[in-house]
């Protein structure tokens, strides 16, 4: 995958790919003191549009506040910078990665006094897991305990747990992993929220050990608005996997990805009917696709 981007926005200035550089003694390089967002823009019938830009930037600033980062930019200025960076990419369906991080100035754990840097880049990247239903295995590694960090923030350090799990994926021949929390309830994939369907009921893990995803919130709204189905948020144990008819992941990069099977830690395999033409997961996937490519300002900010 070539992620070389046309121009990168950094602290008010556009920089060419080959001209970007950061000091090897920046705080974030040594201590992972950065926060980020992962945003997608789509080609619609009228123009390229960014999906829920304001919600993503709200979360970016919340994450920065957790690290007590004093950025010199307002939310509105960062939103506009995202729009400008997309416009300068001359593309219609790419991804946006805004990050805020501590640069040089301090080389111990407390970053107070280090320079705060803000960078926005865009690159071409397809649907993360493709369109087919995937095979998933429950990992031995547990999700980060929410008592040790802020699960509502997209902090880079939270993802060291995800990296460790992701490195195991191909070794055992599965497409993705599913994490349990430290109490052995189902949490999420290292970067995605999960939903289960049983008849006319939809379930998803309750907030606490999971990131409250923006795509997750959109899917809950769609179930209620389009299918008149209430989504039940509660603890879900691995022993319940055999009860469900369908399962799927949601995430900005993966959109709605049907799950064909989940294998537990004891190698028992649960098969699901997710993603076929008549499935509920296929219906919600279609609704989601229509929303992100539709001219509805409740969900999408258009590029001006």
Closest C-alpha among 59, 52, 113, 48 to residue 84:
48
Q: Are strands 193-198 and 201-205 parallel, antiparallel or unpaired?
A: antiparallel
Q: Quick check: 303 pLDDT over 50?
A: no
pLDDT, tens only, 238-290? 999 999 999 999 998 889 999 999 998 888 999 999 988 889 999 999 999 88
pLDDT, tens only, 91-119? 778 899 999 999 999 888 999 999 999 99
Closest C-alpha among 269, 180, 218, 183 to residue 259:
269
Catalytic residues: 154
Q: What is the pLDDT of residue 163?
A: 83
First to last CA, the chain: 29
Looking at per-residue confidence, does 148 or 294 come out higher? 148
Distance CA 246, CA 237 (A): 16
Closest C-alpha among 159, 165, 194, 127 to residue 63:
159
pLDDT, tens only, 244-254? 999 999 998 88
CB within 8 Å of 275: residues ≥ 6 apart = 132, 133, 248, 258, 260, 281, 282, 285
Cα 18 → chain centroid: 27
Distance CA 291, CA 289 (A): 5
Q: Quick check: 122 pLDDT over 70?
A: yes
Cα 183 → chain centroid: 23
State the Cα angle at 296 between 291 and 298, rounded to 5°.
95
Closest C-alpha among 26, 12, 30 to residue 74:
12
Residue 124: count other Cβ atoms within 10 Å of its Cβ. Answer: 14
Return the structure tokens found at 61.
């600033």
Cα dihedral sign, 30-31-37-40: positive
* Strand, coil or helix: 85: helix
Q: At what angle do helices 280-292 and 214-226 cross, to 10 degrees?
A: 110
Report whether 52 contacts 299 (CB < 8 A).
yes
CB within 8 Å of 131: residues ≥ 6 apart = none
CA-CA-CA-CA dihedral for 226, 228, 232, 237, to nearest 10: -70
Q: What domains, with CATH codes, occur in the chain? A: 7-123 (3.30.470.10), 134-292 (3.20.10.10)
pLDDT, tens only, 143-165? 889 999 999 999 988 888 888 88
pTM higher than 0.85: yes
pLDDT, tens only, 168-191? 766 777 888 899 999 999 999 877
* CB-count exposure of residue 223 (10 Å: 0-12, 13-18, 19+): buried
* Strand, coil or helix: 232: strand
């Amino acid at each position: 995958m070539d992620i070389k981007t046309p121009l990168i926005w950094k602290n008010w200035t556009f920089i060419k790919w080959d001209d970007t550089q950061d000091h090897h003694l920046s705080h974030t390089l040594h201590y992972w003191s950065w926060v980020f967002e992962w945003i997608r823009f789509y080609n619609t019938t009228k123009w390229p549009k960014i999906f829920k830009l304001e919600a993503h930037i709200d979360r970016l600033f919340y994450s920065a506040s957790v690290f007590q980062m004093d950025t010199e930019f307002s939310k509105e200025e960062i939103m506009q910078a995202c729009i400008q960076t997309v416009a300068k990419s001359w593309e219609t369906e790419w991804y946006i990665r805004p990050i805020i991080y501590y640069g040089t100035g301090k080389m111990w754990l407390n970053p107070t006094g280090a320079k705060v840097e803000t960078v926005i880049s865009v690159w071409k990247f397809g649907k993360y897991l493709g369109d087919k239903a995937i095979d998933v295995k429950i990992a031995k590694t547990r999700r980060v305990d929410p008592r040790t960090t802020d699960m509502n923030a997209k902090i880079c350090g939270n993802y060291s747990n995800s990296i460790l799990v992701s490195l195991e994926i191909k070794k055992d021949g599965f497409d993705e992993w599913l994490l349990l929390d430290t109490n052995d309830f189902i949490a999420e994939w290292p970067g995605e929220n999960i939903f289960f369907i049983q008849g006319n009921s939809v379930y998803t893990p309750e907030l606490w050990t999971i990131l409250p995803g923006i795509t997750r919130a959109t899917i809950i709204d769609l179930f209620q608005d389009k299918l008149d189905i209430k989504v039940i948020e509660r603890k879900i144990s691995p022993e319940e996997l055999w009860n469900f008819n369908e399962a799927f992941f949601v995430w900005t990069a993966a959109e709605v990805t049907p799950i064909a099977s989940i294998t537990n830690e004891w190698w028992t395999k649960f098969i699901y009917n997710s993603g076929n033409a008549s499935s509920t997961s296929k219906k919600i996937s279609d609704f989601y696709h229509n929303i992100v490519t539709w001219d509805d300002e409740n969900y999408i900010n258009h590029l001006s």
